[in-house]
Amino acid sequence: MSTLVQGRNAAEATGRFTMASLTAFLLRYNFIVIFFVVAAIATCLSNDFLTWRNICNLFQQSSVVGIVAIGMTFVILTANIDLSVGSMVACSGLIVSLLMQAGIPPAVAIPATFLIGTCIGATLGAISAYAAVPSFIVTLAGLVTIRGVTFLLSNGAPIGGLPHGFGAFGSYQIPLLPGVTFPILGLLFLVVWGAASLVLRYTVFGEYVFATGGNAEAARLSGLPVRLIVTLVFAISGLLSSLSGVLLTARLRIGQPTAAQGLELDAIAAVVLGGTSLFGGRGSVLGTLFAVMLLQVLRNIFNLLGLGSFYQMTITGLIIIAAILLNRVIDSRQGRR
């Protein structure tokens, strides 16, 4: 074979490899492509979209649901579901408000709230794992019960009179450069995302989470403590829900028992939209991050255009359905469930 022919064949092989790699990347990270396409459209539709102030607003608005969605990602990766997160957010916000109203300093009230949220999440997970009750049923009961306790604790009324420093924290802007700031709630969202990414990617616990969701029976036969893992992912979900509740309360400067209604649906939608399989064993918090931001970009551009809430819900729902169907098609082509 001549050198010219060999060179041509090598070039063709390289081209095929490059196209195959690019196609595989686009299929795997289609949610990133969708996000940037929507962001580009939003930039064309509104001159106010691609401004630093609006970008900061996006992260500020995404922080509460985003942190909850990261906890939900852990749960769904094990092929479970947590419907109690919205009620947990409201209950945690109310608990921290009541503790501070009673004179307990924020430095004590906030960790105590985190501990309570973690224990509630772990309890729901343990009931599902050790009593072999579907997590859908357990957390549905948790959704109603925790919301009911929230109303009982507050008599249905908001809790005010919170320390000034606590409220100021919720709206604090971190100075990056002279005249340039970034919301602390957005920074905490990114910190939680980074920590969750490290846990899932580089720790034994992360491997156990994927193994449990991929095939719980095979994982159990391999010696993995499957029931403990399920309990722990629900504890993580409870912890992050309580964190979101504290942050939301700091931002609103009031403990609101009706807060976060329907937030569990937004969190689940973001996780699934980000490519995490409801069957468990496949997904990433990177996908969840971009999906949360995508949903917020959609709401943001709708508001900038003055589009009514009914239109917003309809269009957002259609986009979620289309994205989920796209992921199902990709899964079937790649031989996944």
| Tens of pLDDT, residues 244-274 | 999 999 999 999 999 988 899 889 989 988 8
Residues of the chain with pLDDT under 50: 3-5, 7-8, 10-14
Residues 6+ apart with CB under 8 A from 262: 86
Q: What pLDDT was estimated at residue 86?
A: 94
Q: What letter does residue 255 receive in the DSSP assignment?
A: B
**76 with 283: CB under 8 angstroms?**
yes
Q: What pLDDT was estimated at residue 59?
A: 93
**276 with 292: CB under 8 angstroms?**
no
Q: What pLDDT was estimated at residue 277?
A: 85
**248 with 122: CB under 8 angstroms?**
no
